[in-house]
Amino acid sequence: MGQRQLFCLGRVLLKRNRILVLDEATASIDSATDSTLQKIIREEFCNCTVITVAHRVPTVIDSDMVLLLSFGKLVEYDEPSKLMGINSSFSKLVAEYWSSCRRNSKEELNHLGTI
């Protein structure tokens, strides 16, 4: 994670604003660190409005509401659990994400087998 991102996240934790906007705040870090930071943000800002802009599904999957944009247009807006319960664009993105994760894991295991 870049120093600037760490500094900004530290400032946010100290300032305790009631509204927090995170625009790809964890995009340049690995998934495990992203998960840790998301947990901290959710715990420390549980009584605040947090608006998260992200491309990673796990970053938003446990949000209260998800707003899905495609080419600048609103496609869906609802609770993630409700969007997952129907044939939605969001549920397709989630399925694609996990499929990609499984594929990458298999490739990594195959690569390790050749070392």
Can you give the residue ranges of every domain in the chain?
1-112
1-112 CATH fold: Rossmann fold (3.40.50)
Question: What are the pLDDT digits (tens) for 92-112?
Answer: 999 998 888 777 666 655 655
Token code pair at residue 83:
């969007």
What are the backbone dihedrals phi and psi of residue 66, each rounded to the nearest 5 degrees, phi first? -125, 135
Which residues 6+ apart lie within 8 Å of 38 measured at CB?
A: 26, 58, 59, 62
Question: What are the pLDDT digits (tens) for 36-88?
Answer: 888 888 888 889 898 988 888 888 888 999 999 999 999 999 999 999 988 99
- Please calculate the CA angle 4-61-32 and round it to the nearest 5 degrees: 50
